[in-house]
Amino acid sequence: MSWMLLIVEPRGQRALRSEEQGRGLYQRMLDYGEHLQQQGLLLASNSLREAATRVQRRGGRPQLVDGPFTESKELVGGFYLIDCESREQALQIAAACPAAEWASVEVREVAPCYE
């Protein structure tokens, strides 16, 4: 089964860290990904910038809205896509993620949208 671990962090939190602190946390996340890779669990991972653009098509025309989005108190700061045996294993892997110390790790099974 594939699972997406979404790193959901408070908006503005990154700006409170020094560059050295940010680089240290980032390295911990890279090390965690490497650990998952060595175990054969990691399919993909990456961090995401805070800025985003939302795309919607209304009346046949695309509408673009640039973020950050003021109505949102949180942002998806990154992800790990893993393949493991069960929900319980995915939750254990998420609990070991360093980001769980300063953010939330949302665990979602990858599945067709009609299920």
Instruction: Provide the token pair at 26.
Output: 């980032």
Note the pLDDT of residue 71: 67
pLDDT tens for the chain, residues 1 to 115 = 999 999 999 888 888 999 999 999 999 999 999 999 999 999 999 999 888 888 999 999 999 988 766 667 888 999 999 999 999 999 999 999 999 999 999 999 999 888 7
CATH topology for 2-109 is: Alpha-Beta Plaits (3.30.70)
Residues 6+ away with beta carbon under 8 Å from 47: 7, 26, 29, 77, 78
